[in-house]
Amino acid sequence: MKLSEPQALNRIAGYCSRAERCEYDVRKKLVSWELSGEEIERIVKRLKQERFLDDSRFVKSFINDKLKFNKWGKTKIIFELRKRNIQESIYSPIFDEVSGDEFEKQLMHILSIKAKSVKGKNDYEKKTKLIRFALGRGFSMDLVIKCVDKLLGGDYEEYIT
């Protein structure tokens, strides 16, 4: 669908006002509206001037939402931010504000729920399934092993050799 520059600006401003957006998502949408590169640059510049578009604000919101609602780990969140071309200099300080306890608390919560439904022939198999589940959610291996050991007891290290 081909839009004129003023129409696109109005639509994209509404799009940005409904939820936090990153520059990558906005540019993708503008390209889909068949705007020229120059028009896209002018629109993005104007959105930034009028504070409709701010990547650091987007990152704060994104990290908070993915941690609290989706129960994602740091690795998965970083992967998704990199997919959106967000610079490490933007998201790194925001991750420093989030304490490691937040990630551990979320991981313990999802593991305790998942542990009720995981079936295994023995403890080793059950722990392995829980570890794979948590790694898929984007949590680090050391945090996962720590939480699985807390939850199910024992020491997973003895199985690794």
pLDDT band at residue 70 under the 50/70/90 scheme? very high
Q: How far apart are the first and last CA of the chain?
A: 59
Of 98, 4, 2, 94, which Cα lies nearest the Cα of 55? Answer: 94
Average pLDDT over residues 103-124: 92
- 34: left (phi > 0), else alpha (psi -120 to 50), else beta? left
Average pLDDT over residues 5-24: 94
- Look at residue 158 in the predicted model and tell me its pLDDT: 45
**What's the chain's average pLDDT?**
90
% of the chain surpassing 70 pLDDT: 95
pLDDT band at residue 19 under the 50/70/90 scheme? very high
* pTM listed for this prediction: 0.85
What one-letter code names the amino acid at 35? L
Contact 8, 30 (CB under 8 A): yes
* The 3-state secondary structure of 55-97, one letter per residue: HHHHHHHHHHHHHHCCCCCHHHHHHHHHHCCCCHHHHHHHHHH
Q: Which helix (H) or strand (E) holds 136?
A: helix 123-136
- Look at residue 155 in the predicted model and tell me its pLDDT: 56
- Look at residue 153 in the predicted model and tell me its pLDDT: 77
